Amino acid sequence: MTSPLGKFTFSRRFDKFFTDIYNGYKFFILFWKEVFQRPWHFKELINQCYYIGFQSLPLISLTGFVVGIVFTKQSRPSLSSFGATSWLPSLISIAVIRALAPLVTALICAGKVGSNIGAELGSMKVTEQIEAMEVSAINPFKYLVVTRVLACTFMIPVLMMYSAFIGMIGSFINIHSHESTSFVAFINTAFASIVFLDIYAALIKATVFGFTIGIVGSFKGYNASKGTQGVGNAANSAVVLSMFLVFVEEIIIVQVINWFR
């Protein structure tokens, strides 16, 4: 039989789950109320774009380059068995632009940017710096949350396009080393199967992923508690929840885009 303690623990977790959903909904609505109201902290927004975008370039560069090379190496044996290695650039471009670049960029940024936002805002919350900003007549939600969410929404599509470019460069190097394909021939073949809908879909995905990473990381950090342990929990839960939502959004967006093809 189930013990009363077990029922109590399950009930608390059940209540906490729906409480978190409600708090997340209020946080989401508050963001859209604040984003269109003055003052707009452009300087802080530019700083966050720099931290999220420029400082993520080394990791995004390495990841995109490796993804391009590895996916090309993995795809070559399958196409070689059909004598269709000439279609390798087209296959890589479709895979990278439609799926790999937005998804890989979002997952990398969820781990790097999402955890950083959660830890940073969490530490400010537990050390009462956010309350000090309220005393100083500064809206901490607008200064801390809105700027970070907008920076993620703006910069992750840029990082996605950069990741796709680096991935294609890695693919070209691998193809050129095996088939001696020229860069012009590679580009012509790669983009023969790409239409504007693919690019628009990739940008929409990256924008939605960026907003999700920013809002989840900010929500977890802004509502952190229990001291230093709460900061760690905020950073960890920001990464886990962001990645989970990215996969869910990927499924939904792909289904919607396929209706337009």
* Interatomic CA distance for residues 127 and 125, integer angstroms: 6
Q: Which two tokens stand for residue 239?
A: 């990464």
pTM, whole model, 2 decimals?
0.88
Name residue, tokens 């990082």: 159
Assigned domain for 4 exists:
no
Query: pLDDT (tens digit, 9 = 90+) per residue, 14-51?
Result: 677 778 788 888 888 988 888 888 888 889 899 999 98
Least confident window among 10-14, 143-147, 197-201, 239-243:
10-14
* Interatomic CA distance for residues 238 and 122, integer angstroms: 11
Assigned domain for 20 exists:
no
Assigned domain for 159 exists:
yes
Least confident window among 157-171, 179-193, 195-209:
179-193
| 144: CB partners within 8 A, 6+ apart | 121, 124, 130, 133, 218, 222
Assigned domain for 252 exists:
yes
Assigned domain for 254 exists:
yes
* Interatomic CA distance for residues 203 and 206, integer angstroms: 5
3-state DSSP call for residue 39?
A: coil
Name residue, tokens 């789950």: 17
Contact 119, 233 (CB under 8 A): no
Q: What domain range is 157 assigned to?
A: 41-78+86-260
Neighbours of 99 (CB within 10 A): 16
Assigned domain for 126 exists:
yes
As for how many domains the chain has, the answer is 1
In degrees and rounded to multiples of 5, residue 180 shows phi and psi of 55, 35
3-state DSSP call for residue 36?
A: coil
Radius of gyration (Cα) for the chain, nearest Å? 22
Assigned domain for 138 exists:
yes
